[in-house]
Chain A
Amino acid sequence: MRPCRSTTAPADRRRLLASGLWPWLAAGGLWLLAFAISCRIGSAAVESAAPDSGSVAGRMLGGARAAFGAHFFEVADLYFHRGVEHRRRQALTNDLFLALARVVSPPEHVHRSGSSVREIMPWLWLAVRANPRDVEACLVAAYWLARDLRRPDLALETLREARIDNPTTHRIPLEQARILLRLGQWDEALRSLDVGLALWPGGEDPNSEDALLDKRNLLLHRSLLLESRSQTAAAMADLQEILRLFPDSPALRRRVAELAAGSDPRESALKVLHKLLDEEVRSRVSAEHEESSPPQDDSVVSAPLNTVTNVN
């Protein structure tokens, strides 16, 4: 076969040149080269967004993959709202074309819920595959798998894979702990919380509001879990650490004082933990509804602390 190939190859090349195809191939090659270089520039500019730099595709298209991942995440958001885009300011309100367009594509703000949430999952899956270092996409996917789709096993599997690609972030162990706590797998949840606290701040600014809230949640979950196991001293240490971060928390102060006074905390801690998990779900849902407000507003920040107050 080899001699045959060697004799036909130059003929093929001549035919290719004669057919006038080579300028198109050259232009395509140059475009691909320019695209790869621009992707590398993008990746260098946003180092954290460059996924999978180990593979050839990752090296060539790192920045583009991050952009694709962000796009797929936006499409998932669009699907969650049944194709309705976020409201934009319009110069016209009573125009014929707009009126027709509103009938063709109704702009009513609706959310998917229950099993219909599965329609957003392909886009989240694509977002995670396109950019495995997009922690937010992984967390959102795990959240919906565990909540509306009632597949905590798949959620934990997704988070396990996400941890391989993002070994330094504390946010994945925190989400794992939440799911494990809901499943009643206390030991595994405690291990995840320990890992999360060991990893915190996970490359984020330790003074940022999000990082501090994550640490507060890790500590609060762990303290309640420890409290339920009668490890009062360790639980109090975690609560005091939260008080150091958020000194204006009278509810927490009262709880620390009660623990110091030696009240039996076992039952109430588990109750608080369940209420806390429910409260977190409610606050996430309300954050989805109030799209104009930031994801962690004051009410969300204070919710778990109020839960502690109410239960006690």
Chain B
Amino acid sequence: MTRAAVIAAIVWLELLRRKDIYVLLILLGALLAGLVSLNVFGLGGATAYVKDIGLLLAWLFGWILAVSATARELPQEETRGTIFSLLAKPLRRAELLAGKWLGCWSIVAAAALAFYAIVAAVALAKGAGFDAVALAQGFVLHLCALGVICALALCCSTRLNADAAAALTYVVSAACLLLAPRLPHLAAYASGFRFTALLALYHALPHFDLFDMRRRLVHDLGPLPWPVFGAVAAYGIVLTALFLLLAWTAYRRKRFSRGALGA
């Protein structure tokens, strides 16, 4: 566990050096400042759109950061050849994977916390607050979703180069977020094999929509019942564990050759 934490700390240092997070934070602040300055029919008082777009940007930037940070970690080690010196140390591959995931997820979580803080501050400045409990629940479920995305990206990157892993993770996670909730509707107009296939896909894909509490937060619908919140959080933890297990399965006996995954 200590060795995984050391790997996570190295990931932190590397990602902080890259400055992606600062760029996204500045972009979020600038976009929200632009939104707040809109003069809507000279009316004033509307705040839900600031919360909505702010949270949407927090989700979007968190997603981009999670995929781009995680998908390049392992291929980068292999391309540079540092994987050989890493694995020459008393470090198991499972610990390497756990450390990489922990580092990426924790830094993305920290960035998401900063995103939420900016959105909440801007909404407050505009005269609208969030329900504190609902916001905390929304943030925790968002972290669950980011954990799943990081694990998925790590899983893809065990066998693909950085670009391919990132592209595959973007496609799968976007499909899960946008397409999966629509599948029961599409299945209503299908029959026979197509009907079965759509429903099978619906149950097989991760349901990222369950982690998305933006509607509750934007339209002030209050916090989730705690049993439901717990069930959704547990679902996220199980999915994360599943993808990490798949990643370990794909990585534990992988043979390396210098420059094999050169991007």
> Is the C-beta of A45 less than 8 angstroms from some C-beta in chain B?
no
> Is the C-beta of A119 less than 8 angstroms from some C-beta in chain B?
yes
Which residues of chain B have C-beta atoms less than 8 A from A100's C-beta?
Answer: 207, 210, 228, 231-232
Surface stretch bound by B, among A121-129, A218-226, A277-285 = A121-129
In the complex the two chains form, is A89's CB within 8 Å of B41's CB?
Answer: no
Which residues of chain B have C-beta atoms less than 8 A from A88's C-beta?
Answer: 185, 188
Which residues of chain A have C-beta atoms less than 8 A from B159's C-beta?
Answer: none
Which residues of chain A have C-beta atoms less than 8 A from B219's C-beta?
Answer: 79, 82-83
In the complex the two chains form, is B184's CB within 8 Å of A103's CB?
Answer: no
> Is the C-beta of B42 less than 8 angstroms from some C-beta in chain A?
yes
CA–CA, A95 and B181, complex, Å: 12
> Is the C-beta of A8 less than 8 angstroms from some C-beta in chain B?
no
Please count how many residues in chain A sit with their CB below 8 Å of the partner chain's CB atoms: 31
What per-residue 1/0 map shows which CB atoms of B190-214 lie under 8 Å from chain A? 1000010011001100010110110
Which residues of chain B have C-beta atoms less than 8 A from A157's C-beta?
Answer: 41-42
Which residues of A109-136 are within 8 A (CB) of B? Answer: 115, 118-119, 121-123, 125
Which residues of chain B have C-beta atoms less than 8 A from A79's C-beta?
Answer: 48-49, 219
> Is the C-beta of A105 less than 8 angstroms from some C-beta in chain B?
yes
In the complex the two chains form, is A103's CB within 8 Å of B224's CB?
Answer: yes
In the complex the two chains form, is A122's CB within 8 Å of B49's CB?
Answer: yes
User: How close is A20's CB to chain B, nearest CB, in angstroms?
Assistant: 13
Given B43, B46, B188, which contacts A154 in the complex, CB threshold below 8 Å?
B43
User: How close is A299's CB to chain B, nearest CB, in angstroms?
Assistant: 31
Given A83, A89, A105, A154, which contacts B185 in the complex, CB threshold below 8 Å?
A89
Which residues of chain B have C-beta atoms less than 8 A from A149's C-beta?
Answer: 43
User: How close is B207's CB to chain A, nearest CB, in angstroms?
Assistant: 5
In the complex the two chains form, is A121's CB within 8 Å of B40's CB?
Answer: yes
Of the A-B pairs whose beta carbons lie under 8 Å apart in the complex, a sample of 21, sorted by A's number, is A82-B219, A88-B188, A89-B189, A90-B184, A91-B187, A91-B195, A97-B207, A98-B184, A101-B181, A104-B209, A105-B215, A118-B43, A118-B46, A119-B48, A121-B40, A122-B40, A123-B49, A125-B40, A145-B41, A154-B43, A157-B42
Residues in A lying within 8 Å of B, measured CB to CB = 79, 82-83, 88-92, 95, 97-98, 100-101, 103-106, 115, 118-119, 121-123, 125, 141, 145, 149, 151, 154, 157-158
Residues in B lying within 8 Å of A, measured CB to CB = 38, 40-43, 45-49, 181, 184-185, 187-190, 195, 198-199, 202-203, 207, 209-210, 212-213, 215-216, 218-219, 221, 224-225, 228, 231-232
